Amino acid sequence: MKNQELMAWCDYPEIAVPHADSGPLAGKTLAVKDIYQVAGYPNGWGQPTRLAEAEPDTETMTAVQKMLDAGAKVTGKSQCEELCFSLTGINVHYGAPVNGAAPDRVCGGSSSGSVSLVSNDIVDIATGSDTGGSVRAPASYCGLIGQRTTHGRIPLDRTMPLAPSFDVFGWFTKDADTFAKVGDVVMEDDPDTTRLRRLIACPELDSLLLGDADYTAYAKGAEQTEKHFNDERDFEPLPFDIEEAYWSFRRCQSYEAWETLGPWIERAKPDLGPGIKDRFEYGASVSKDEFDASNAHRAIVRDAVEALLGKDGLLVLPTVPSCAPLKSEDHDTLQAFREQALMLLCVSGLSGLPQITLPLAQVHGAPLGVSLIGPRNSDKRLIAVAQAILAD
């Protein structure tokens, strides 16, 4: 297996996937997360029992096909965390892909193989998915650009579902120009052209950073964004309780995950790793009444964030509470970090709004992402803002 030391590729025979000879992505190499169908490859979902029953696919997921038609070359499928229900990047069955920016730290998941391959300069582009934070967190950990797109903007045909009302398509690159080219290929133009001109910050979100060093590093990164908004941020109170929002997110996501994959788990009886098994068991315990109540609160959060942003606002916030945890941390420490991270990550997930994370900060010798959340369907304008910020 190529680059075996990275533990980032799926161990599949190489398939010659047809692609265009010219186009905006010509000459770019592409790794595809192993939940997206690519004709000729199986779709293993990071789970050996699933892989054992998976036949090679005969069709390719639409967004991936658009990238092939634009000249990108698939060089393989990238490993993911088991059934995509984790943020650390450690798959008990297949190992922990290597973080190219901080090899002693986790690379993040569930898009672990994808982020590893880009951060180690093995491929130019890799696809990811984001249900709870599986594009944004690993991008922050590995010093890459990553975007959680507006929910529903990019179709998720021929994809393993996890929690369908949260699942979105995303991708990773090191440079903003390549990132923008992918955006142009997989998305039409934004339906609204209003300039994103107001930069907003909520101290309650900044307070979720783990310590003084993290806050100092983040503040320096956030200052880089201010140059494009008249050197100022409007500080506003967060219009909802973040802990209550976190629990609404967790209940909704877990309930949907069990509704979606629970029947397969009960039939196939896979050997699920620690954490993954616990989360599905929790999802099975969430009642329909609890789900409905959390979904109602989710609508309140969505409306509050949309009112805060209006048509021209951007919310700046830390992507995650700190740099990636060390691989040597114990399970309880990693779990506590995950829960704190989800308090930041759930804002975009609950609202369905797009969020882009940029490698603008460093702390403890490792990357820390600075994020921008924009109005619904402002994805390409968000990318243009990111290009301008990173060009400085």
Chain centroid to Cα 171, Å, comes to 8
Q: What share of the chain is helix, strand, coil (3-state, %, to 5)?
A: 40, 15, 45
Q: Mind giving me the DSSP string for 58-115?
A: SS--HHHHHHHHTT-EEEEEEP--GGG--SS--BTTTB----SS-TTB---SSSHHHH
- Write down the pLDDT at residue 1: 61
Measured distance CA(315)–CA(202) in Å, rounded: 8
Q: Concatenated DSSP letters for 8-66?
A: -B-----------SSSTTTT-EEEEETTB--TTS---TT-HHHHHHPPPPSS--HHHHH
Q: What residues does each domain of the chain span? A: 4-186, 198-242+287-391
CATH architecture, range 4-186: Alpha-Beta Complex (3.90)
Q: Which of 333, 166, 334 is nearest to 248 (CA)?
A: 166
- The torsion of the CA quartet 110, 94, 34, 128, rounded to 10 degrees, works out to 30
Is 114 in contact with 126 (CB distance < 8 Å)? yes
How far is the C-alpha of 182 from the C-alpha of 172, rounded, in Å?
Answer: 10
Cα(356)–Cα(146) distance, integer angstroms:
6
d(C-alpha 137, C-alpha 110), whole Å: 9
| Alpha carbons 267 and 147: distance in angstroms, whole number | 34
Assess contact for 9 and 77: CB atoms under 8 A: yes
- pLDDT value, residue 388: 96
Q: What is the pLDDT along the chain (392 residues), one digit of tens a residue?
A: 688 899 999 999 989 999 999 999 999 999 999 999 999 999 999 999 999 999 999 999 999 999 999 999 999 999 999 999 999 999 999 999 999 999 999 999 999 999 999 999 999 999 999 999 999 999 999 999 999 999 999 999 999 999 999 999 999 999 999 999 999 999 999 999 999 999 999 999 999 999 999 999 999 999 999 988 877 889 999 999 999 999 999 999 999 999 999 999 999 999 999 899 999 999 999 999 999 999 999 999 999 999 999 999 999 999 999 999 999 999 899 999 999 999 999 999 999 999 999 999 999 999 999 999 999 999 999 999 999 999 98
Residues 6 or more apart in contact with residue 127 via CB below 8 angstroms: 30, 31, 32, 33, 36, 63, 64, 78, 111, 114, 169, 170, 171, 172
370 forms beta bridges with: 318, 358
Distance of CA 75 to the CA centre of its chain: 21
